[in-house]
Chain A
Amino acid sequence: MPSVSTQITWIVVGYAALVAVLAVTAAARGTERPRWLDQMAWMLELLVVVRALVGLGPLLGGDRPESTSTYVGYLVASVCVLPIAMRSVQDDRATWSAAVVAVAAVAVGVVAVRLQMTA
């Protein structure tokens, strides 16, 4: 059975992909960015924070990652990307703002995979 961190990573990746697809769909419809998309993005952030907290384990325990600085970089990036992206479109609910959410969601998914690979 895969470790807890691996399982959470897959949940993060799957959910990030879902958010990205829905964000692209919302953008393609050409309407205002829906509120539920924001809520889904913040749910993703919550998942990422849980993954990051679990990810602190290898840093504190004896089984340290091969490149600690790379690992810490991915750890910090994983939790920062979404808040920064959501902040940048805070007052802007126009169509294209949903595409920004899509970019951020894909980035979070990729960072989650890289984090897992460097652990």
Chain B
Amino acid sequence: MSDERRSGPHQVLLALYALFTLAAGARSLVQLTTRYDDAPVAYWLSLAAAVTYALGWYAIRQASAGRTGFASVMLWVELAGVAGVGTLSLVVRDWFPDASVWSDYGIGYGFVPAVLPVAGLLWLRHRKLAALANN
């Protein structure tokens, strides 16, 4: 059990979440502090994405230790965020004179932001089923 907890696909998810926390966080902070007036909505949404990734990282870490509650909420929140902001960026172009992390469903990051929560939810489902089978 402890071995399974340490090693597994969640390590890749954790690496990606850490990476996106860093990328989105640094990007939004630079944009908010140096060119706030260019696209404030987009930049604030980027910061929200960064916070979501940080919480997602924590949620997956918890889930890998058997506490899946937070991840079951957080990954859906993230998916809603990507879908919501992605759609918003297509519908209300005026709010996005500059891109946000989740603009066009994460096109600027090769759509990895759209894939991440789905991959996370699939992993979580697999994890829960495995836990059920063990009991």
Contact = CB atoms under 8 A, between A and B. Distances in A.
A99 B15 CA distance: 9
A106 to B, nearest CB: 9
Interface residues of B, number: 18
A96 B7 contact: yes
Nearest to B34: A69
Contacts, number: 43
Interface string B1-35: 00100111101100110110011001100100110
A3 interface: no
A81 B21 CA distance: 13
Contacts of A81: 19
Contacts of A84: 18
Nearest to A94: B7
Nearest to A93: B7
A104 B15 contact: yes
B26 A73 contact: yes
Contacts of B22: 77
B12 A95 contact: no
A107 interface: yes
B50 to A, nearest CB: 13
B4 to A, nearest CB: 10
Given A94-B6, A95-B7, A103 B12 contact: yes
A51 to B, nearest CB: 19
A96 B12 contact: yes
A36 B6 CA distance: 22
20 contacts: A67-B34, A69-B30, A69-B34, A77-B22, A77-B26, A84-B18, A85-B15, A89-B11, A92-B7, A94-B6, A94-B7, A95-B7, A96-B7, A97-B7, A99-B11, A100-B11, A100-B15, A103-B16, A103-B19, A107-B19
